[in-house]
Structure 1
């Protein structure tokens, strides 16, 4: 008889998160998978076409059953975001109390907000099933450092909720060693904690430029209109406030006045709440010609964009939470064998240095970032490829999908 897994994740297909692939791999491994999620609306803040309060509330996708709870879309302001979080808890509460679904394991893919994890606790307590919590975002630290909440009463309240969730978790899995230590400091026993990094889906791999679609080649041109060679830097993913992308227009402004051998282009692929601000900042600093904004693309196409690019960009804002975080795009980048230039600290910096796959400067240091761009520009193709291949080797040794999925299977046993 198939073992049954209930996956809880506020974001799921067609939203692009790694839990999509984890769930599909479980189906291939013989599990019966049911996903409880929300109506898709991330990151643009409105329901995806074809979905709504009365449309596609249940769905089957690649062998999985998907149940979509009614929510308020995230919108583009803090009030709507709070309503989005709250509506999922309310919908989840009633679902957990009245559902007849019976499973063997409950697995919660916890991106912000951690409030979504209450649904997993309520269901697992009622049904007396083991509950596995996979931490992507650390709370209450995330609320304090990222959202800027300083009210002690509010933080203590969130802290008590977090402790309640940890208490009723069978296992707490965290995506970095630093997160494991932070959770342990809250009194969670070591026997309940495990380090389980994210992996990159198998379509993240180097792509031969000859195999890239012509349409994508037109979006990432190798030369500008005057025939000067482009040095293409690429950023992919959510364009939010946490990503610290405001450094890039400042870097471009520094590089603009210099007589460089190549034409620098920052290719920004994605969508998010900060995108309009970033576009405005690029315009105000007079560096529009150095930026190429491309709409959000299916994840499976991203390796082709990387294949046409020289260097991948990873930036984060300066706070202690992000120093403990390994952003998912880092695994995607190194799996594709592309050199990285980053503005980050902590776990991200350690991996880039250990993998010898690029350059990482201090968070927010636009001068050092600009100098690093120039260093990478003068490297020949062979030297850039060596950085990329070193990163790919590190990925195979540390973020292998089969190895990590086998580890999850052991937790279930």
Structure 2
């Protein structure tokens, strides 16, 4: 009989997250997969067309059974976001009470909020099945950074919830080695935690350089950022960097192509206009993920950016794997894990997070590279990706946790 995996993921298709591909691959491998998720509303903050509280609450995607529980959309302010987080947990609680789904394993795909893990933990405890947690965002650290809340009682309460979740998961997977150490520092046994980095979907492959209608076909050096435009990305550095480049009389030589949507996009556009560097920016609406390789191929380099913060130094953003899989030179404004990977791979140039002047210098250095040097960087990126983020190898590794009849030698079931 096929193993049945219950996936808890507040975000799922048509929202663009890697869990979509992971579940699709599990179905191909013969697993039965059921996903409990919310009504799609990320990142715009409102329900996607065709979805709602009474529309498309059940769906099949690539053989994956989707169950959508009610939730309040994210909106565009912190109150709505808090209600969004809370509503998923409340709906998940009642779903768990009445659900007839009988799964062999629970797999929680945890991007913020960590609260979404609670329905998975409750289900696993009630059915006495193994519970696996895949940590993409560290809490409570992420809450402090994104919200600015530092009240020790509030953060302490979130920390207790996080410890409750960690204690009741049988295995915890983390996207970086720094995350592994951070989770262990909360008192979690190291043997319970495993490094399992993200991979890029199969369509992320190098493409021949081409033109696309969204980007003018001229001799300007094009730098692309593709993905969520939020506060964590630290994209406010770009208008400042553009000013330094303008001082060097390079405003007509460099273009930043910003592809995507998110809570910070309008503010970023306003900042670009206020800085009087709008001629250096080209904002492109959110695109299907399958179009990103084509857009990357029309640019000279890709841009990776994170806010200057110890938490983000520990993060390997999913975007980095996408860029590397497509074999494009990378310019990064980042510290820690991202900086280490780019140095090891020799796939790009790095500036410290938050340093606009240094980023401008790095961009000028990249601008002066020969086509042959840029090509070598792209090849290095793809080779590093193949060695370290190979999709089939990572999925086979996960099979070892799902594929065996008994896991008692490796994993202790947690009661209570």
Secondary structure at the aligned position of 1:155 is classed as helix
Secondary structure at the aligned position of 1:180 is classed as helix
Q: Is the 8 A contact 1:171 1:192 kept in 2?
A: yes
Inter-partner Cα distance in structure 1 for 2:375 and 2:401? 38
Q: Is the 8 A contact 2:118 2:165 kept in 1?
A: yes
Determine the structure 1 residue equivalent to 2:213.
218
Please say if 1:278 is aligned against 2:268: yes
Determine the structure 1 residue equivalent to 2:407.
none
Determine the structure 2 residue equivalent to 1:166.
166
Inter-partner Cα distance in structure 2 for 1:45 and 1:265? 29
Please say if 1:62 is aligned against 2:52: no
CA shift digits 1:298-326 (9 cap, x unpaired): 00000000000001001111111101110
CA shift digits 1:324-347 (9 cap, x unpaired): 110000000011000111111011
C-alpha displacement of 1:260: 4.0
TM-score, structure 1 length as denominator? Answer: 0.96
Inter-partner Cα distance in structure 1 for 2:202 and 2:45? 29
Please say if 1:287 is aligned against 2:287: no
Secondary structure at the aligned position of 1:188 is classed as coil
Determine the structure 2 residue equivalent to 1:226.
none
Of 255, 277, 290, the residue aligned with 2:245 is 255
Secondary structure at the aligned position of 2:42 is classed as coil
C-alpha displacement of 1:23: 0.3
Please say if 1:117 is aligned against 2:117: yes
Alignment of 1:262-273 (within 5 A): 263-273=253-263
Inter-partner Cα distance in structure 1 for 2:38 and 2:251? 49
CA shift digits 1:345-399 (9 cap, x unpaired): 0111101111111111111111111111111111111110100110110000000
Q: Is the 8 A contact 2:58 2:68 kept in 1?
A: yes
TM-score, structure 2 length as denominator? Answer: 0.95
Secondary structure at the aligned position of 1:331 is classed as helix
Alignment of 1:363-378 (within 5 A): 363-378=353-368
Q: Is the 8 A contact 2:199 2:391 kept in 1?
A: yes
Q: Is the 8 A contact 1:239 1:270 kept in 2?
A: yes
Deviates more, 1:139-148 or 1:181-190: 139-148
C-alpha displacement of 1:257: 3.2
Secondary structure at the aligned position of 2:56 is classed as coil
Alignment of 1:6-405 (within 5 A): 6-209=6-209, 212=210, 217-223=212-218, 229-260=219-250, 263-405=253-395
Secondary structure at the aligned position of 2:212 is classed as helix
CA shift digits 1:139-191 (9 cap, x unpaired): 11111233222111111111111111011101000000000001101111112
Inter-partner Cα distance in structure 2 for 1:157 and 1:69? 26
Q: Is the 8 A contact 1:200 1:331 kept in 2?
A: yes
Give the number of equivalent residue pairs: 403
Q: Is the 8 A contact 1:146 1:319 kept in 2?
A: no
Secondary structure at the aligned position of 1:101 is classed as coil
Inter-partner Cα distance in structure 1 for 2:213 and 2:27? 37
Inter-partner Cα distance in structure 2 for 1:374 and 1:261? 12
Deviates more, 1:282-291 or 1:252-261: 252-261
Inter-partner Cα distance in structure 2 for 1:61 and 1:218? 30
- Structure 2 gaps of 5+ residues are 405-416
C-alpha displacement of 1:262: 6.2
Q: Is the 8 A contact 2:251 2:279 kept in 1?
A: no
Inter-partner Cα distance in structure 1 for 2:166 and 2:43? 27
Secondary structure at the aligned position of 1:33 is classed as strand
Deviates more, 1:362-371 or 1:142-151: 142-151
